[in-house]
Amino acid sequence: MNASWRTSDRAPQFLPLILLLSVFLWFYTTTGGRQVFVKEVLSGAYDSQAEHFLRGDVDVDVEAIRHEAMIVNDRVRMYFGPFPAFLRIPLNFAYPAGHGKWSRISGFCAAIVALFAVAGLVGTALRSSPLSSRGRSWLGNTCIIGFALGSPLLLLLGNLSIYNEAIIWGLGWSLAALYFALRSRQDEAGALTRSLLGFSLCAAGALLSRVTFGVPFVLIALVLGLQVPRNNRITNLSVLLLPLGVAFAFYVWLSYARFGSWIGANYDYYINPVHSAFAHKYGMFSLRRIPYSFADYFSLRFPRIERQPPFLVGDRHSYSYPSLFSNPNSEVYLSVLWCSSWLVFAAVMGIACLVRGKGVDLFERGVSLALFAQFLCILSYFLLAQRYATDLYPFLIFCLVVFLGSAGISALWPRRILTALIALSVVVNCLATISWLVHADQNVPTETKAAWEKLLGQSTNGKTK
């Protein structure tokens, strides 16, 4: 695999498909192009945070953050990553009327970053594949479709409340950072410097969007630093470490300024007494939760089937472990095995390549371990929700890249299985996600739900007209 990343063969071209998917995702995100500037749930908190940054403090207006506030010494704070707030500063300067309504444009941009990053990762892995040019293009395009429609991307774009906007940016920047990390393995001279700079900037964006996406890339940066060649070493190390180092220092400072702690949010300050008391007693993270979370995120449970559109029902289910999770219900409405069965299959094949070690070096092992740490981190968290499953995907996608870059992809049977599973994932994920957004998700704006119900031919109470 390492040799394939160093080849000069041209990668398959995916731009036409990316443009087509971008148009589709734009209309999906904006509900047919009619709802661009929409006040999503708590989306104005990022605008408020941006205003306070410009004033030189880290507070946020209580009416903007409401039920997600952290009260620290009678000051209102928010625990969400600051990147969407930074993005609001130039946007509100250019178009003040958009204040509090930027979430859909922001989320769509993050999705495009993620889409291009996945295309780059897949193209890099397939560049020297023994497959024919047509075979590489077919397989690569199919995987990109799988990511766009058979992953949590549809959920995040369908509900761009304060919760999902930071997550989709964290996913997009982390996949872009992973792409530049792999590119740096085959680049030399000036191209290497640009790849390292791209990695550092994207890793910084991931860290400031959602810390669980960013921390693995701090570890990956150290692995990259050890492998920087002696030629132009100081310049390359500077562009690798400086942007990410500044972002890390800012994150630590911001955590202390907000909560008096260097390591992030303290749920003792959370306005929600249920979660605050639970986190104080049992902790936000616990290794005891890992097997139970894994069983929920990767269960064989199939969504309930109904006769009317969208035919599959995405809903909460009982999952009561009072000493493990603060809620008696899980919001994992669709198991990863059904949402992204294609990616689970590819990840298993990639893990087999990593375990066997054939064609895998220290860099690949280091990246896989760093991303697997993120994987375990989210499994040890005290809440279960479909949006949190997004943290599992950088590891799964890296394993996909390992598999696509291995000799095993030349066999016909895994490609057939992968293609069939992509088709299955796209159908199940699309139908279940639409059901969740229309009937179960409490954070979807009323006008958006009404538009979906009209498309599905349903009345506001969910009955067929």
In the chain, % helix, strand, coil (3-state, to 5) comes to: 65, 5, 30
pLDDT tens, residue by residue, 264-318: 777 889 999 999 999 999 999 999 999 999 999 999 999 999 999 999 999 999 9
Q: What is the pLDDT of residue 5?
A: 42
When pLDDT is averaged across residues 119-131 and rounded to a whole number, the result is: 88
pLDDT tens, residue by residue, 409-460: 888 899 999 999 999 999 999 999 999 999 999 999 999 999 999 999 875 4
Tell me, what DSSP letter sits at residue 464?
B
Say if CB 438 and CB 452 are below 8 A apart.
yes
Residue from 18, 17, 378, 429 nearest 171 by CA: 378
- Among residues of the chain, what percentage have pLDDT more than 90? 82
* Secondary structure of residue 179 in the 3-state scheme: helix
When pLDDT is averaged across residues 76-103 and rounded to a whole number, the result is: 96
Evaluate the omega torsion of the peptide bond into residue 82 and state whether it is cis, within 30 degrees of 0: no
Say if CB 183 and CB 123 are below 8 A apart.
no
Q: What is the pLDDT of residue 140?
A: 95
Q: What is the pLDDT of residue 6?
A: 41
Q: What is the pLDDT of residue 252?
A: 95
**Helix pair angle (362-379, 290-297), 10° resolution:** 90
Evaluate if residue 202 carries a pLDDT over 90.
yes
Looking at every residue in the chain, the average pLDDT score rounds to: 92
When pLDDT is averaged across residues 14-18 and rounded to a whole number, the result is: 95
Q: Tokens for 43?
A: 């989306």
State the amino acid at position 102 in one-letter form: W
Say if CB 375 and CB 325 are below 8 A apart.
no
Q: Where are the domains of the chain?
A: 2-456
The model's confidence at residue 199, banded by pLDDT at 50, 70 and 90, is very high
Say if CB 338 and CB 313 are below 8 A apart.
no
- Lowest mean pLDDT across 1-10, 187-196, 355-364: 1-10
* Residues paired with residue 75 on neighbouring β-strands, in sequence order: 72
Cα-Cα-Cα-Cα torsion 105, 106, 107, 108, nearest 10 degrees, comes to 50
The model's confidence at residue 359, banded by pLDDT at 50, 70 and 90, is low
Residue, of 11 and 178, whose pLDDT is higher: 178
pLDDT tens, residue by residue, 399-417: 999 999 888 888 889 999 9
Q: What is the pLDDT of residue 411?
A: 87
The model's confidence at residue 189, banded by pLDDT at 50, 70 and 90, is confident
Q: What is the pLDDT of residue 10?
A: 58
The model's confidence at residue 358, banded by pLDDT at 50, 70 and 90, is low
Evaluate if residue 465 carries a pLDDT over 50.
no
Q: Tokens for 338?
A: 């059904």
Q: What is the pLDDT of residue 264?
A: 75
Q: What φ, ψ does residue 425 adopt, rounded to 5°? A: -60, -40
Q: What φ, ψ does residue 227 adopt, rounded to 5°? A: -105, 5
